């Protein structure tokens, strides 16, 4: 009898186990970084530039230093004099002349020049937050305004230069494919479809803003932070302090959302540690909402011209995409790579495209830098191809589902290498679409459209079939497994929790291996003294961290089997393990797992394990949305949303469904409401609060999502068969929604508007397009 069955059946993989993290959070017992502040901590406030582009002259701190409670004031000039190095910028890309990627140096506190509104130029630490705010207002900075490059359009005009090495404001660029072969394909095409597409700038909008607490403990800097990547923060803080990484410990407790925005390290993270060292006491900083809009990395912000060549039968012959990405004031490695390489990896998506011609440029402006935001390049790429596919269907008269069928990559072609040299291990894209169509009642749409028309509304049906790449191309992960004599299994991983339920999923994998109740598993995350790794980004937490956790648990059981054999005076080959107990085959002689651990030196069995998966995962899906457009107001209502998602093996269906639906909501926000806007003349941020930045609200999404997972095509690149899931919904939602709106217009004989649709399709923008305005 397999006595592991009860625990595994209740808590193991495939079960909708309630999240372990939630009880404490729902009872108000969460431990966010700001909750860790203690009496006596210094409170930090940054002095930020009010100008998008200005030289920084003298900074007078005398009045501020004389104010009550002030402990320390630090300026960019002081840090430069101390030899604090700039933050890393640039990327392994070149300019057209072969020179290195151009970017101004980004300092922890701006020195000599400020390059975007909100860039920190000084900091104040005081006994209370109000004292710090009052003193910060008394720091007098002598600015001399410089001509700004406030927008991407201004950067393309080269109204002013932001880097000596880039007088044209082109930080770097990349070309992929065969331009001559693509030209030939287009010349032979029966149909050519082209679109100009704007992927607007977005804010990540995490519930918890960035937060840092730092203090010196015995000559070693301790940092608590809200971050997805504590090891990266450790490296940056160590560089800023000019010490070795081992002289810094970074810990992460609860994180109230990341969405890519909390990857890597910010200048503010390093500044808090420097302030703690300067003041000699713990220092805490939590950004307010306005600071987050001003100074965190933003997402997207790309202008693309995309063209698709097709034969008379609708077979794709070639794809041409040329784009300009606004990477802001500093060309960070992440911000550049997302647009010049990572997004292009999936640009051909689930379709067989024989030849490509891509030309991408990263442009410098006086705006906050861009970086990772949920999807990170893949939403832009997939939106391009899915909008082209629907426009191709309209212009050729080929049914859009039929057009997709004719161009899907055949499962027999797997493993399939796309034109960017990326290899898909598995994929059955038509199979996924064939499940989504009936889920959305595709064939019953006509009756619903007629009902809407009777009420004066235009109904549209949108589809997106797509894939995405996950993993960050960092495939190694380290875990530790500690079986303790007190009856618990404590596991550690360098992947991080940030609201996505990863601790529960990891615990379920431990249950799979050990067959013990999940209450016996403790998951510890976010401590660089316990272990270091890449962290959580690129939807890699489960397929890299989870694979390492399961193989580490198996390795621990193998070692424990040897220890049990020794304890039971039997051959290891005769030892069997079930449900927390080792026994000798054919006897009732045995020993419990935890009893065995208690007998070892230190009272535990400890294994440090590293595991490497063999490649990225390629989750894919078909998302279908249904909308009603009110032609009198331009308002769009989502009346149905259905999706089938191939995410490989599912460890916790409840968590996966939450990730898919949550991602879709963020994608819907981009399609309909969200946009970061800078004034085109002054470079001032116009959307600096939730009064101005229109995130989707509950009343905007009153439809029930129909969300299904297809587990029939497990990933071959990791032992669990799982695929990343955290960003899939975001990637599918935007083209699905915009294609639905385009469909509604076409059915109302307003198809000429479709090529001009640009996100966000707010009521005002859509009404303007319908009434002949240039929007």
Segment 394-421, tens digit of pLDDT: 999 999 999 999 999 999 999 999 999 9
Quote the pLDDT of residue 1. 29
143-146 contacts, C-beta under 8 A, 24 or more apart: 143/49, 143/50, 143/51, 143/54, 143/55, 143/56, 143/57, 143/114, 144/54, 144/55, 144/57, 145/51, 145/53, 145/54, 146/53, 146/54, 146/55, 146/113
Q: Does 528 sit behind a cis peptide bond, omega within 30 degrees of 0 on the bond before it?
A: no
DSSP 537-592: -TT-IIIIIIHHHHHHHHHHHHHHHHHHHHHHTS-GGGEEEETTEEEETTSS-EEE
Under the banding of pLDDT at 50, 70 and 90, the label for residue 2 is very low
Return the CA Rg of the chain. Answer: 27
Quote the pLDDT of residue 496. 84
- With a pLDDT cut of 70, the percent of the chain lying above it is 99
Quote the pLDDT of residue 569. 93
Q: Which two tokens stand for residue 751?
A: 């198809």
List, for residues 323-380, the tens digit of each pLDDT value: 999 999 999 999 999 999 999 999 999 999 999 999 999 999 999 999 999 999 999 9
For 307, list phi and psi in degrees, rounded to 5. Answer: -135, 140
For 510, list phi and psi in degrees, rounded to 5. Answer: -70, -40
Burial of 192 (0-12, 13-18, 19+ CB in 10 A): middle
SS3 617: strand
CA distance 378 to 347: 8
DSSP 3-55: TTHHHHHHHSTTS-PPPTTHHHHHTT----GGGG--TT-EEEEEEE-SSSSEE
State yes or no: pLDDT of 84 exceeds 50. Answer: yes
Taking Cα atoms as reference points, which of 344, 373, 343 lies closest to residue 264?
373
Quote the pLDDT of residue 378. 97
Residue ranges of domains in the chain, CATH in brackets: 5-30+472-612 (3.30.365.10), 38-146+205-295 (3.90.1170.50), 427-470+617-775 (3.30.365.10)
Quote the pLDDT of residue 497. 85
CA distance 757 to 139: 46
List, for residues 534-586, the tens digit of each pLDDT value: 877 777 888 888 899 999 999 999 999 999 999 999 999 999 999 999 999 99
Q: How far is CA 103 from the centre of its chain?
A: 24
Quote the pLDDT of residue 473. 79
Quote the pLDDT of residue 12. 86
Task: Count helices and strands (H / E) in the chain.
Answer: 22, 28
CA distance 616 to 613: 8
State yes or no: pLDDT of 494 exceeds 90. Answer: no
**Would you give the DSSP letter of residue 625?**
E
DSSP 385-412: HHHHHHHHHHHH---HHHHHHHHBPPGG
State yes or no: pLDDT of 500 exceeds 90. Answer: no
State yes or no: pLDDT of 746 exceeds 60. Answer: yes
Triad 763, 769, 774: Cα angle to 5°: 120
Exposure string of 361-381, with b = 16+ CB inside 10 Å and e = fewer, is bbbbbbbbbbbbbbbbbbbbb
Taking Cα atoms as reference points, which of 659, 657, 692 lies closest to residue 674?
692
**List of residues 6+ apart from 730 with CB closer than 8 A:** 374, 375, 379, 663, 664, 666, 667, 670
Quote the pLDDT of residue 18. 92
User: Does residue 448 or residue 494 have the better pLDDT?
Assistant: 448
Quote the pLDDT of residue 3. 42
The region, left, alpha or beta by phi > 0 then psi within -120 to 50, assigned to residue 622 is beta
List, for residues 592-640, the tens digit of each pLDDT value: 999 999 999 999 999 999 999 999 999 999 999 999 999 999 999 999 9
Quote the pLDDT of residue 699. 84
Q: What is the mean pLDDT of the chain?
A: 95
Under the banding of pLDDT at 50, 70 and 90, the label for residue 5 is low
Angle between helices 378-396 and 400-407 (to 10 degrees): 120
List, for residues 449-488, the tens digit of each pLDDT value: 999 999 999 999 999 999 999 987 788 889 999 999 999 9
Under the banding of pLDDT at 50, 70 and 90, the label for residue 4 is low
Q: Which two tokens stand for residue 594?
A: 């935890």
Triad 49, 52, 55: Cα angle to 5°: 70
Exposure string of 21-50, with b = 16+ CB inside 10 Å and e = fewer, is beeeeeeeebebbbeebeeebbbbbbbbbe
pTM reported for the whole predicted model: 0.96
């Amino acid at each position: 009898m397999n006595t592991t069955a009860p625990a595994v059946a209740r808590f193991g993989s495939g079960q909708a186990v309630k999240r372990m993290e939630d009880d404490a959070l729902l009872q108000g017992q969460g431990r966010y970084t700001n909750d860790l502040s203690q009496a006596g901590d210094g409170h930090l406030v940054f002095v930020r530039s009010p100008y998008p582009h200005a030289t920084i002259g003298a900074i007078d701190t005398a009045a501020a230093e004389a104010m009550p409670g002030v402990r320390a004031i630090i300026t960019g000039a002081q840090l430069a004099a101390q030899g604090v190095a700039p933050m890393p910028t640039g990327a392994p890309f070149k300019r057209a002349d072969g020179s290195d990627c151009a970017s101004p140096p980004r300092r922890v506190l701006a020195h000599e020049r400020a390059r975007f509104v909100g860039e920190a130029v000084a900091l104040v630490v005081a006994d209370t937050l109000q004292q710090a705010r009052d003193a910060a207002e008394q720091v007098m900075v002598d600015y001399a305004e410089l001509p700004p490059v406030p927008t991407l359009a201004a950067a393309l005009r080269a109204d002013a230069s932001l880097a000596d090495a880039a007088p044209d404001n082109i930080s770097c660029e990349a070309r992929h494919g065969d331009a001559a072969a693509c030209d030939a394909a287009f010349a032979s095409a029966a149909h050519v479809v082209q679109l100009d597409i704007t992927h607007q700038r977005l804010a990540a909008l995490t519930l918890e803003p960035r937060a840092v607490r730092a203090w010196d403990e015995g000559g070693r800097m301790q940092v608590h932070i809200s971050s997805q990547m504590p090891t990266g923060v450790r490296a940056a803080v160590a560089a800023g302090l000019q010490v070795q990484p081992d002289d810094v410990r970074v810990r992460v407790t609860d994180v109230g959302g990341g969405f890519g925005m909390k990857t890597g390290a910010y200048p503010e993270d390093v500044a808090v540690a420097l302030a703690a060292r300067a003041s000699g006491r713990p220092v805490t900083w939590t950004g307010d909402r306005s600071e987050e809009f001003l100074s965190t990395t933003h997402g997207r912000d790309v202008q693309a011209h995309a063209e698709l060549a097709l034969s008379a039968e609708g077979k794709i012959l070639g794809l041409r995409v040329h784009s300009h990405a606004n990477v802001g004031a500093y060309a960070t490695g992440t911000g550049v790579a997302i647009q010049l390489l990572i997004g292009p990896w999936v640009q051909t998506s689930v379709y067989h495209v024989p030849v490509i011609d891509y030309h991408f440029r990263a442009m410098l402006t006086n705006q906050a830098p861009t970086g990772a935001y949920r999807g990170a390049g893949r939403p832009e790429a997939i939106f391009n191809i899915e909008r082209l596919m629907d426009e191709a269907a309209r212009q050729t008269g080929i049914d859009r589902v039929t057009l997709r069928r004719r161009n899907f990559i055949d499962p027999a072609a797997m493993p399939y290498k796309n034109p960017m040299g990326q290899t898909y291990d598995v994929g059955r894209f038509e199979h996924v679409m064939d499940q989504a169509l009936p889920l959305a009642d595709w064939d019953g749409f006509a009756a619903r459209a007629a009902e809407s028309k009777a009420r004066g509304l235009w109904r549209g049906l949108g589809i997106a079939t797509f894939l995405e790449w996950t993993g960050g191309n960092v495939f190694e992960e380290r875990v530790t497994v500690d079986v303790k004599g007190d009856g618990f299994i404590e596991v550690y991983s360098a992947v991080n929790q940030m609201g996505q339920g990863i601790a529960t999923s990891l615990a379920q994998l431990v249950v799979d291996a050990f067959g013990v109740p999940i209450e016996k598993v403790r998951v510890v995350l976010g401590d660089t003294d316990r272990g270091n790794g890449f962290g959580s980004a690129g939807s890699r937490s489960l397929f890299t961290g989870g694979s390492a956790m399961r193989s580490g648990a198996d390795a621990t059981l193998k070692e424990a089997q040897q220890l049990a054999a020794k304890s039971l005076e039997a051959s290891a080959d005769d030892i069997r393990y079930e449900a927390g107990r080792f026994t000798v085959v054919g006897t009732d002689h045995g020993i419990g797992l935890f009893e065995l651990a208690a007998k070892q030196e230190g009272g535990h069995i400890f294994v440090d394990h590293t595991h490497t998966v063999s490649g990225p995962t390629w989750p894919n899906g078909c998302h279908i949305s249904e909308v009603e457009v009110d032609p009198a107001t331009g308002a769009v209502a989502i009346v149905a949303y259905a999706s089938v998602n191939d995410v490989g093996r599912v460890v916790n269906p409840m968590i996966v469904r939450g990730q898919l639906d949550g991602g879709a909501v963020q994608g819907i926000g981009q399609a309909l409401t969200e946009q970061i806007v800078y004034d085109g003349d002054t470079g001032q941020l116009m959307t600096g609060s939730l009064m101005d930045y229109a995130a989707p609200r509950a009343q905007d999404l009153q439809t029930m999502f129909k969300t299904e997972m297809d587990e029939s095509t497990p990933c071959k690149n990791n032992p669990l068969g799982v695929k990343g899931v955290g960003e899939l919904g975001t990637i599918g939602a935007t083209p699905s929604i915009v294609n639905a709106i385009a469909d509604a217009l076409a059915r109302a004989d307003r198809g000429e508007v479709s090529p001009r649709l640009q996100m966000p399709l707010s009521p005002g923008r859509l009404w303007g397009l319908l009434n002949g305005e240039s929007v």
